[in-house]
Amino acid sequence: MAEMYCYREALPFAAMVTMECVNVGLNTLFKEATLAGMSYHVFVPYAYAVAALVLLPAPFVSHRSRVLPPLSFSILSKIALLGLIGSSSQIMGYTGINYSSPALASAISNLTPAFTFIFAIIFRSLGPSLT
């Protein structure tokens, strides 16, 4: 019973706290790297490379189905678009940190769920009704 509680309740909370700590650490690391002379255009590929190395073992320990969907042009173009948007947002975010502080960036990143909620309300009222 305690195992299920840990898996369902405590693990997501621990993951969120860990990701916030990593986010604050990455912002601080970025500010120190740029003060030492590194360009944020170079820092973004380094951050992606470290993230890829950390996530590389995940498919080997996953218990999901091993059958992959076919890799079509549509899926490849969506992956490319997502990568372009993600790297662009990181570059813009790091540009903002370059002009301000990592503490401000970390505080503003906590507002993301609030903005998501507000956008969901706005676009739900503007979208077509399903009823």
Residue 66 lies in a domain: no
Nearest to 93 by CA among 31, 20, 21: 31
Residue 129 has a pLDDT of 55
Other CB atoms within a 10 A radius of the CB of residue 94 amount to 22
The CA angle 23-24-27, to the nearest 5 degrees, is: 85
pLDDT digits (tens, 9 = 90+) for 47-75: 889 888 988 888 788 776 677 778 899 99
Residue 20 lies in a domain: yes
Examine the pLDDT at 131 and tell me if it is beyond 80: no
Would you give the end-to-end CA distance of the chain in angstroms? 40
Range of the domain at 107: 2-61+73-126
Residue 31 lies in a domain: yes
pLDDT digits (tens, 9 = 90+) for 8-39: 777 778 888 888 888 888 888 888 888 898 88
Residue 108 to residue 10: CA distance in whole angstroms: 25
- Number of domains the chain is built from: 1
pLDDT digits (tens, 9 = 90+) for 85-102: 988 888 888 888 888 888
Alpha-carbon torsion 87, 89, 91, 94, what sign?
A: negative
Running DSSP on this structure, what letter comes out for residue 100? Answer: S
Question: H helices of 1-131, where?
Answer: 2-5, 11-35, 40-55, 58-61, 73-99, 102-109, 112-126
Residue 67 lies in a domain: no
Global confidence as pTM = 0.64
Residue 51 lies in a domain: yes
Residue 112 lies in a domain: yes
Examine the pLDDT at 78 and tell me if it is beyond 60: yes
